[in-house]
Structure formats: structure tokens, C-alpha cells
């Protein structure tokens, strides 16, 4: 089984594109809106000043083959509104988890 890699996916409302540093500014705005990083049940959402570091770490994890990450782009506005991942990838067991969608 080949190592999973992100490919663009889309429907009529959103486009999923491979996550990269070009998405940092939009993601900062997303987490700053309503200060969602302060919500107790959202500990995976970083504060705005940590978004670049978190995206870099996520991209490194993608390169290592332990996650696959996408930026979620709203088609109507062409703006990044979040990101999503496949995680806990096990090629040996042919499984992964869907989640980590701030």
C-alpha cells in the first residue's frame, strides 16, 4: 500500500487543497474569529500567534507519513475556513482516522 498523500477534493461548497504555509494568514483569521482557541473542548485549535508553527508541524507530520492534511476553502469566497486531516495512519493495518478538523 502506498503512503497516502493529499489530493485536491471538492464539492459545490468547499475545496480541500493540500495544507501549506500559504494558508497561515487565513487560518490565523479563522482562529481569531470568536477566539475559538479559548473554548475548553477545542484544545487542538492554536491561538493566532501559534498558527504558523502548528501548520509547519502539520506539514512535517504529512512528510513523515503520519498524517495527511488539507486546507478547507469555501468556494463562494475562495477563503480558507479551516483545515482537516487523516491521522494515526497505519499502512500495516490498512487504517487511518478521520478527524482533527478545527
Domains and CATH numbers, the chain: 9-99 (3.40.630.30)
H-helix segments, 1-102? 24-32, 51-64
Q: Quick one: cell of 97? A: 482516522
Q: What is the pLDDT of residues 10-68, one digit of tens each?
A: 999 999 999 999 999 999 999 887 777 777 777 778 889 999 999 999 999 999 988 99
* Rounded distance between C-alpha atoms, residue 85 and residue 4, angstroms: 11
pTM over cut 0.75 = yes
Q: How far apart are CA 53 and CA 58, in angstroms?
A: 9
Provide the pairing of β-strand 67-74 with 79-90.
Answer: antiparallel
Phi, psi of 72 (to 5 degrees): -100, 115
Beta carbons of 78 and 13 less than 8 angstroms apart: no
Amino acid at each position: 500500500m502506498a503512503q497516502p498523500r493529499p489530493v485536491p477534493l471538492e464539492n459545490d461548497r468547499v475545496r480541500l487543497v493540500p495544507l501549506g504555509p500559504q494558508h497561515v494568514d487565513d487560518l490565523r483569521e479563522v482562529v481569531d474569529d470568536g477566539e475559538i482557541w479559548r473554548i475548553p473542548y477545542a484544545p487542538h485549535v492554536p491561538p493566532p500567534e501559534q498558527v504558523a508553527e502548528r501548520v509547519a508541524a502539520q506539514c512535517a507530520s504529512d512528510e513523515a507519513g503520519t498524517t495527511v492534511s488539507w486546507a478547507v476553502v469555501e468556494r463562494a469566497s475562495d477563503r480558507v475556513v479551516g483545515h482537516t486531516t487523516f491521522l494515526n495512519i497505519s499502512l500495516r493495518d490498512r487504517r487511518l482516522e478521520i478527524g482533527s478538523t478545527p
